[in-house]
Chains A and B, each alone.
Chain A
Amino acid sequence: MKAGDKLVWVIYDITENTKRTKVAKACKNKGLYRVQKSAFLGTLNKNQLDEFKVMCEDIISPDKDSVYIFPMCEDDFKKVKLLGQAFDRKLVTDEVKALFI
């Protein structure tokens, strides 16, 4: 992770399909990784985070939907326990330097 980058969780509950898809797409475009159907995780810098917040505000209906953006510190991330189908820890913290496909 670069200095100034923050590890964030984005979790949402959105009733309308089109809006949900738009938020999911916004997450992907910002470089977050999908860890569950409505949960994304990744590193963003402050500007990207603000941008993302504004984008989500425009998409959702505030009286029905919710989007949670949780920052997480690196020390706590190291303590995360993963069971079953887990995500790639190194990928979300930008430690992977070459991605092979």
Chain B
Amino acid sequence: MSENNNQDFDEKQTDGGVATEAYLEKEINLFKPATPFMRDHLRIIWISFAAWVLVVFGPTTATWVAEEFMTETSILGGYPLHFFAGAIFTPLGALVLAAVYAWQRDRLDKKYNISHDPEAAEQAEASTATDGGESQ
């Protein structure tokens, strides 16, 4: 994509679109969502963040609090519990949470009728160049 196109967009896309315009007038605040979408989104963010904190720092904290239990319990034929948690479980937990978040976020897109279809985006881009961005 050449730079000139980029510059064209600067001028043509200022109308933005209804949804984005709604955002442009409201303060973005992590604790005070401004729109219903933002409220729903932040709920997902905070719940998954809390789960993540547990998965990441939970096992080591448990090892600190109950060292004997964590180190002397062995699973899968010999892994000490705390070792297995750090080496295998915590990365897996973060991966699962990431997939769940991305999936929830897709559901949110659906609920609010947002499409990321790349073909539609391409068409929009193609038409933007000729109709001055009306298709946004």
Do A and B share a complex?
no
